[in-house]
Amino acid sequence: MAGNTRTGTGNDTVDTTTTISGLPIKPLYEPADLSGFDYERDLGRPGEFPFTRGVYPTMYRGRRWTMREFSGFGTAEQTNARFKYLISEGETGLSTAFDFPTLLGYDSDHPMALGEVGKLGVAIDSLRDMEILFDGIPLDQVTTSMTINAPAAILWAMYLVVAEKQGVPWDKVGGTIQNDILKEYIAQNTYVFPPEPSMRLIVDTFEFGTKHVPKWNTISVSGYHIREAGSTAVQELAFTLADGMEYVRWGIARGLDVDAFAPRLSFFFNAHNEFFEEIAKYRAARRIWAHVMRDEFGAKNARSWLCRFHTQTAGVSLTAQQPENNVVRVTLQALAAVLGGTQSLHTNSMDEALALPSEKAVRIALRTQQIIADESGVANTIDPLAGSYFVEALTNQMEAGAKDYFRRIDELGGVIPAIEKQFFQREIAEAAYRYQREVQAGRRVIVGVNRYQVDEPISIPLLQVDEAVQEAQIKRVQEVRRTRDNTEVRSRLAALRDAARGSGNLMYPILEAVRAYATLGEIMDTLREVFGEYHAPPVF
């Protein structure tokens, strides 16, 4: 292939002229690469427009990023124990992984839940499970992130009722629901309802949060899963911010004041292998978002201009082969996220190409963050790479690439029409396939996979979630259905059905249904009845 250089010890032709995303890079950057660069205009001071250097004036000197390990498996009891373990080891925020039946709004005894209960996250069927999940964890002293999308409003309602029962007022409760349905259609696939009612539910949470739970991030607009599905860095950046803009449009269309809800929008990015490209991506994201919010949406509150984000290291970059090497990969990825100014961080565990993390593996992942934070010194100076010819040029390149995609999405009629035309899905599948071929041709190196292989059995202890979890969970949900006031449940669900047919905010009837111990599946079925379900064509 033209432009490639032969490197290394083997016969492989490794591509050193482009990033992992295919962005062309030069061997050397000089002042000419930054012609027209204007410090005040392009960067500004940290905490000042356009926030390229960071969203807060003091960044990590003021406060470290939140160390938040995504956890969830088995029953609520098992995950509660993992939460407490992580807190005792120095974790500073909680992050909940739900199992597939929960993500898709099925109770554990639904036929589609067979084999899936508690496997990839914790199983939550009703308020009862949520009470157990946060038992002994004061919700005014920890913030919780919940990776939940189609049923986000319901899980959030459960969390708020648990807070209520702990005696914690809602204005003291902080955390995040992912609540980003657009990227589900684009990449992650845990959608349930069609786009329009899904967007309505999301705007309902914006409105409700603004009024009642002011410290809650009502959405985490996510590029993480777009990247995991195979996108490039530029696609991740562009599609995520395009989604963010779509949510803002829907909020404004509802009649909400942009400055009332925009400060509670947050973002979530991937930290992949290509070190500098990732840092440039985060910096570009802040700059683009600040301009979009101020100049296109007319937001006047400076907090509306901030692209605050969580970062997770790239799950897809982990190898099953020589899994200990993943600790090193995660370290580099986490370092990129910190140098890029993330507000919170999840570091993956070395065993995640094989199973959910074992206790020891997740502790090493947390220690990785603690070593970066407390030993390396990198957190003591804000945006230390600013002014680097390379990093600034790459930041500009990322921004230009994203804006190019914004134009293409506009030409397709906006985000939802582009989803319906399979635009994002095809772009991502194309990039994923291209990368796979590059790896197989030896143009991209994966240590231990296409280079430096060893022939040895994998010998690290793995976490197992046994089938007894499903039985225990079925027993519990059936007991809840038996012991609650079923007349009240029926009337709450009927009220929700009526509200869904109308146009009122659904958070209120959802809260009432949750309080009566209506199950997640029952609430979701009620909404399915009114909204219908979304089916994507199986294209590849």
Which residues are near other proteins by CB under 8 A? Answer: 100-101, 103-104, 106, 111-116, 119-120, 188-190, 228-230, 316, 318-321, 353-356, 429, 432-433, 436, 440, 446, 448-449, 457-458, 462, 464-465, 467, 536-540
- The strand pair at 344-346 and 309-313 is best described as parallel
In terms of CB distance, is 304 or 321 closer to other proteins? 321
In terms of CB distance, is 80 or 470 closer to other proteins? 470
| Rounded-to-integer distance, Cα 49 and Cα 286, Å | 9
The distance of closest approach from Cβ of residue 114 to other proteins in the complex, given in angstroms and rounded to an integer, is 6
- The gap from C-alpha 166 to its chain's centroid, in whole angstroms, comes to 28
Q: What is the DSSP letter of 99?
A: P
Cα→Cα distances 141→173, 185, 369, Å: 8, 34, 21
The distance of closest approach from Cβ of residue 459 to other proteins in the complex, given in angstroms and rounded to an integer, is 9
Helix (H, G, I), strand (E, B) or coil at 255: coil
In terms of CB distance, is 353 or 472 closer to other proteins? 353
Contact 134, 106 (CB under 8 A): no
The distance of closest approach from Cβ of residue 96 to other proteins in the complex, given in angstroms and rounded to an integer, is 17
| Rounded-to-integer distance, Cα 26 and Cα 390, Å | 9
In terms of CB distance, is 117 or 202 closer to other proteins? 117
Q: What is the DSSP letter of 64?
A: P
Within 167-320, where are the H helices? 182-183, 195-212, 224-228, 233-253, 258-261, 275-291
The distance of closest approach from Cβ of residue 484 to other proteins in the complex, given in angstroms and rounded to an integer, is 26
**Could you give the dihedral angle defined by the CA atoms of residues 229, 230, 232 and 236, in that order, rounded to the nearest 10 degrees?**
0
In terms of CB distance, is 114 or 253 closer to other proteins? 114
The distance of closest approach from Cβ of residue 148 to other proteins in the complex, given in angstroms and rounded to an integer, is 13
In terms of CB distance, is 302 or 316 closer to other proteins? 316
In terms of CB distance, is 80 or 190 closer to other proteins? 190
The distance of closest approach from Cβ of residue 179 to other proteins in the complex, given in angstroms and rounded to an integer, is 16
Sign of the Cα torsion 470, 475, 480, 481 reads positive
Within 68-173, where are the H helices? 76-88, 100-103, 127-133, 152-166
Helix (H, G, I), strand (E, B) or coil at 218: coil
How many CA atoms are closer than 13 Å to the CA of 254, on its beta-carbon side? 25
Tokens, residue 242: 């395009």
The distance of closest approach from Cβ of residue 187 to other proteins in the complex, given in angstroms and rounded to an integer, is 9
Best CA proximity match to 184, nearest among 409, 345, 419, 402: 419
| Rounded-to-integer distance, Cα 401 and Cα 238, Å | 8
The distance of closest approach from Cβ of residue 527 to other proteins in the complex, given in angstroms and rounded to an integer, is 18
In terms of CB distance, is 188 or 395 closer to other proteins? 188
In terms of CB distance, is 191 or 216 closer to other proteins? 191
| Rounded-to-integer distance, Cα 345 and Cα 309, Å | 9
The distance of closest approach from Cβ of residue 429 to other proteins in the complex, given in angstroms and rounded to an integer, is 5
Residue 7: how many other CB atoms lie within 10 Å: 12
The distance of closest approach from Cβ of residue 404 to other proteins in the complex, given in angstroms and rounded to an integer, is 24
Which backbone phi and psi does 248 adopt, to 5 degrees? -65, -40
The residue count of the chain comes to 540
Helix (H, G, I), strand (E, B) or coil at 231: coil
In terms of CB distance, is 146 or 262 closer to other proteins? 146
Tokens, residue 404: 């190019």
The distance of closest approach from Cβ of residue 80 to other proteins in the complex, given in angstroms and rounded to an integer, is 20
In terms of CB distance, is 73 or 216 closer to other proteins? 73
